[in-house]
Amino acid sequence: MKIIDGKTLAQNLRKKIANQVKQYSRPPGLAVILVGDDEASQLYVRNKTRACVEVGFYSDQIHKSSNITEEELLSEVNRLNENQNIDGILVQLPLPLHIDSNKIIEAIIPEKDVDGFSSENVGKLSQNKSFISPCTPKGVMKMLDSIKCDLRGKDCVIIGASNIVGRPMAMELLNAGATVQVCHKGTKEITHKTKSADVIIAAAGVANLVKSDWIKEGVILIDVGINRQADGSMTGDVDFEDVNGIASAITPVPGGVGPMTIAVLLENTLIAYEAKL
């Protein structure tokens, strides 16, 4: 079973970006807005900020209290929309329940929407003419490419239909010529579907959900899950030990999709920056 090393792939992408940045007089700038004190979100934002600094970007981290009003957050986004030193704006999700996330996402101008979550960028991706597309699915495509997986005609099953992963993942795979099924909480006989898949993207957020009796011999397993265990350790949505020897390739957790997501965020920021040159 081949282990797809996301850590090394991400490192290589970051090196390429850092070299590109050296030729510009003004550094690309990324603003990350974090609202509240969710521990996982704080960790993700810290990692994103660190990665920015490492490749020579300008990084602006904005931390707001969880009782910020929707109006205040909107004016923060508008301020960043107009800031010429900021090329990318990311609002870490989830937001507190009293704030309409959709309204905040749509307030970010599409040119600076480095998450690719705005309806304009989602629309472009779904028409296969993407400008900036969501980081995790784009990172997954790079991982599949790294093992020379030709997706044309492949049967792909996605577990999870979120706006952040499942839905844009379906569009990326469809654009690459695959046949795609998106499974979710209401899906009947899910193992029937996963058992005939050539590629499975597990993004359900359920620890060790995908087991040996869910898959066929030779399947490629992409594990997007990050689940914290009672002992503090991290595990994916795939039961790694159980599928070992049956799958042909797998992305590990940690060290798989996670680092790629961050590297692609930097790449998206560079794309946004270069579009303005």
Note the residues at the interface with ligand GUN (CB under 6 A): 90-93, 115, 135-136, 164
- The residues assigned a catalytic role are 48, 92, 115
Kindly report the backbone phi and psi dihedral angles of residue 222, in degrees, each rounded to the nearest multiple of 5, phi listed first. Answer: -110, 120
Contact 62, 91 (CB under 8 A): no
From the CB of 162, what's the least distance to ligand GUN, in Å? 9
The nearer residue to ligand GUN, 48 or 154, going by C-beta atoms, is: 48
H or E segment and range at residue 64: strand 58-64
From the CB of 32, what's the least distance to ligand GUN, in Å? 8
Which DSSP symbol is given to 219?
Answer: -
The nearer residue to ligand GUN, 107 or 219, going by C-beta atoms, is: 107
The nearer residue to ligand GUN, 164 or 204, going by C-beta atoms, is: 164
d(CA 6, CA 254): 9
d(CA 80, CA 98): 22
In the beta sheet, which residues pair with residue 158?
Answer: 182, 201
User: What is the identity of the amino acid at 142?
Assistant: K
Query: Which parts of 4-148 fold into alpha helices (H)?
Result: 6-21, 39-54, 70-82, 101-107, 119-126, 135-146
From the CB of 89, what's the least distance to ligand GUN, in Å? 10
The nearer residue to ligand GUN, 211 or 254, going by C-beta atoms, is: 254
d(CA 17, CA 57): 10
From the CB of 193, what's the least distance to ligand GUN, in Å? 25
